[in-house]
Amino acid sequence: MLLPLGRNALPFKQGHSFSQAGREQTIMADQTVAELRQKIAQAREVITLLMDKAAFNGAEAHRALDYFGSDAFDRNFLPWPQHGAEGLRPEELNAANDD
């Protein structure tokens, strides 16, 4: 049985309270946060493995690990890697300019 409410109100079944709905939303939000934290931990493991396999262990690799290991959000994290932080990489060097 739906309770009559105001024109713009959401109908709740009798016995269903706003606090119960709020608890359900909190549980879902907590689960989402926990899953995102697990996903970030997985990303850190993948980054570490890629660093080991590619022998890429510079400041930018550590910047990525530190970033994904923290709770902070940096809107300017990308582009990654940031050029200039470690100088040019071998594939960016132009051997044709060497004299």
Query: Does an H or E element contain 98, and which?
Result: none
Q: Which two tokens stand for residue 24?
A: 């359900």
Strand-pair partners of 81: none
Q: Which two tokens stand for residue 49?
A: 């493995």
Q: What is the pLDDT of residues 9-43, one digit of tens each?
A: 555 555 556 678 788 888 889 999 999 999 999 98
Top-confidence residue, 9 or 57: 57
Peptide bond into 81 cis (omega under 30): yes
